[in-house]
Amino acid sequence: MSSHHRKRPQIGLIGLGAFGAFCLPHLERLGPVLGHDPARPDSAPLAEAASRPVVILAVPVARLAEAARAIAPHLRPGALVIEVCSIKTHPLAVLRAALPAHVELLGTHPLFGPQSGRDGIEGLRMVLCPGGAPSPRARLAARMLRRLGLAVVSMTPEEHDRQMAWVQGLTHLVARLVSGLEMPALPHTTASFDHLIRATAMVSQDSEALFRTITEDNPFVAEVKAQLLEKATALFEEKTVQLAA
């Protein structure tokens, strides 16, 4: 392996909220990390974190354009800018519009979070969606992620969003419906019910902003909502017809 590949990358991490703070110790296994968060006076200055050769934006979709404008003047030519949002087509379009042409973009989606990764990230999946033609920097990022033990897969931003409309959109919609039910105390349950409640609990601590991103900002979730509503309506109407017969 060449010295270029052995070199530990210097990383700037913008955003030290729940997910950014979760990522920090894992990223530090790859190289020195400078973290910046406007809500954290003790964090590194924005200009220093944004001038690193690899800059990771760990901010919600709603704040992505603002963060991109803030880092734009400090990005070095050829820097790799990585975002970690739960959808891909919209965030990458935002970054392309806000950032200078001399940087490379890489969309990523860790298919895990602070809850599912609390016991370690070995073997968990990470989706990569290059923001352009595959480049040496993007390939190097994939190799670094594999060094963390992650299972890395690549796909286009549109393919990602189409899949996540079902994988995440359906999960969060059903979980929101189940968690909104006024259930009585249930001391005696079945294994299938327990699985349902555990699945609901896994996403119940996600923020409202994340729920809206997954269920509203992904353009392909509209189809999931329509099918879910259609099937639920047909099911209840069928039961009503049978009772009336």
What does the domain layout of the chain look like in residue ranges? 3-155, 159-244
Residue 35, token pair as written in the block: 């973290």
Angstrom distance (rounded) from CA 82 to CA 15 = 12
Angstrom distance (rounded) from CA 72 to CA 49 = 12
pTM: 0.87
What H or E segment, with its residue span, contains residue 109? strand 104-110
**DSSP-H helix ranges across the chain:** 3-6, 18-27, 46-50, 64-71, 89-98, 136-147, 157-164, 171-179, 191-204, 208-212, 221-244
Asked if 80 and 54 touch (Cβ cutoff 8 Å), the reply is: yes
Find tokens 């210097």 and name the residue: 10
Q: State residue 205's pLDDT score.
A: 77
Q: State residue 244's pLDDT score.
A: 60
pLDDT tens across the length of the chain (245 residues): 444 445 788 999 999 999 999 999 999 999 999 999 999 999 999 999 999 999 999 999 999 999 999 999 999 999 999 999 999 999 999 999 999 999 999 999 999 989 889 999 999 999 999 887 767 888 889 999 999 999 999 999 999 999 999 999 999 999 999 999 999 999 999 999 999 999 999 888 788 988 999 999 999 999 999 999 999 999 988 766 565 65
Burial (CB < 10 A; 0-12, 13-18, 19+), residue 155, is: middle
Angstrom distance (rounded) from CA 9 to CA 94 = 25
Q: What is the CATH number of domain 3-155?
A: 3.40.50.720
Closest CA to 51 of 19, 80, 22, 27: 80
Report CA-CA distances (Å) from 199 to 75, 152, 194, 228: 40, 24, 9, 18
- Angle between helix 64-71 and 89-98 (nearest 10): 30
Q: State residue 5's pLDDT score.
A: 46
Residue 64 CA to chain centroid, in angstroms?
A: 13
Strands 125-130 and 33-36: unpaired
CB crowding 197-219: b at 16 or more within 10 Å, else e? beebeebeebeeebbebbbebbe
- Angle between helix 89-98 and 157-164 (nearest 10): 140
